[in-house]
Amino acid sequence: MGNMHDPERQRISSYNCVPNMLSKIKMRFGKFIVPDRDYRALVLENWGIKLFSLVMTLTLWFYVTSKGKAEMALTVPLELRNIPKKMAVVGNVTKNLEVRVQGQERVLRNITVGKQVSGILDLSSSRAGENTIRISPEDINRPAGVSVTYFSPYEIKVRLEPIVQKRAILIPRTQGRPAAGYVFTGAKSMPAMILLEGPQGVMQALTTIRTMPIDIEGLREPVSVTPKIDYQGRPITIVEKDISVTVTIRKRRGRK
């Protein structure tokens, strides 16, 4: 020891002071100091009780968070969006979805079908012909905090056709009778052929189109009217808007 240099003596002296310092700290703050023991043993001590406490805590948490939740079955409208330009939907398409939603009971009580909950069918990637589009829960609009647990159908078939234009003969129709002593002599449309627009399959078979009945009841003189077109439920529209029909009425000639 006599050969030790001063720095080594100071280092050993510092090490010897550590136990004394810890003892003083424990004497003063003993109730706050973790005793010198194996920490692993501390964790594993009474592990059964600790595991039971953890399970009970998780069970209570799930109970509290799920309290007040309910599930509701709804029939909601399916809205078609982003139909490609110059394309038309033809044939029958599913109009509604059967949906079950889950959420807080007070939220579900105030749900408005069609406004707060509705289905969206995005056609932006569709092409001419038959398309099968899958629906996901993200395609169903609903209030915040409400989840979708079930929906049907999950696939929708949609047929698209190009929109084309074509001219067709306009045939006027009339109903009623002129006043006594007068006769109906005819009705003429201007122009005689009108330009229409609609899905390709519909337009291919279209050669003529009629007006809705024009009332001539009690007329004593010719009239010119803007007719309404009888589309007969077909998905077509008029491109030319300036259309008229002239109805000719003349006085009945007396018998000789």
Answer yes or no: is 244 within a domain: yes
Residue 6 has pLDDT above 60, yes or no: no
**Helix locations, the chain, DSSP H:** 6-29, 39-44, 47-66, 105-109, 200-204
**Rounded percentage of the chain residues whose pLDDT exceeds 90:** 59
Residue 16 has pLDDT above 60, yes or no: no
Does the N-terminal peptide bond of residue 199 adopt cis geometry, omega within 30 degrees of 0? no
Q: Are residues 148 and 199 in the same domain?
A: no
Q: Which residue has the tokens 């129709």?
A: 173
Phi, psi of 27 (to 5 degrees): -65, -35
Answer yes or no: is 7 within a domain: no
Listed range (7-16, 41-50, 109-118, 181-190) with the worst mean pLDDT: 7-16
Domain boundary among 127, 153, 179: 153
Q: Are residues 174 and 235 in the same domain?
A: yes
How confident is the model over 225-240, as a mean pLDDT? 93
Q: Are residues 149 and 170 in the same domain?
A: no
Q: Are residues 169 and 142 in the same domain?
A: no
Q: Are residues 146 and 213 in the same domain?
A: no
Contact between 102 and 143 under an 8 Å Cβ cutoff? The reply is: no
Q: The CATH number of the domain where 122 resides is what? A: 2.170.120.30
Residue 25 has pLDDT above 90, yes or no: no
Q: Give the confidence band of 50 by pLDDT, cuts at 50, 70, 90.
A: low
Measured in whole angstroms, the distance separating CA 202 from the mean position of its chain's CA atoms is 29
Q: Are residues 149 and 168 in the same domain?
A: no
Q: The CATH number of the domain where 247 resides is what? A: 2.170.120.40
Residue range of the domain that includes 74: 69-153
Domain boundary among 100, 132, 153: 153
Answer yes or no: is 76 within a domain: yes
Q: Are residues 200 and 244 in the same domain?
A: yes
Interstrand relation of 214-215 and 174-175 (parallel, antiparallel or unpaired): parallel
Q: Are residues 181 and 141 in the same domain?
A: no
Q: Are residues 205 and 241 in the same domain?
A: yes
d(CA 32, CA 244): 100
Number of domains in the chain: 2
Find all residues with CB under 8 Å of 234, minimum gap 6, and list them: 198, 202, 206
pTM: 0.61
Domain boundary among 113, 134, 153: 153
d(CA 17, CA 24): 11
Answer yes or no: is 112 within a domain: yes
pLDDT in tens, 180-204: 999 999 999 999 999 999 999 999 9
Q: Are residues 129 and 100 in the same domain?
A: yes
Answer yes or no: is 36 within a domain: no
Q: Select from 185, 121, 188 the least CA-distant residue to 156.
A: 121
Q: Are residues 146 and 167 in the same domain?
A: no
Q: Are residues 192 and 139 in the same domain?
A: no
Answer yes or no: is 9 within a domain: no
pLDDT in tens, 108-138: 878 877 678 999 999 999 999 999 999 999 9
Q: Select from 88, 93, 234, 236 the least CA-distant residue to 162.
A: 88
Q: Report DSSP letters for 121-132, one per residue.
A: EE-TT--SEEEE
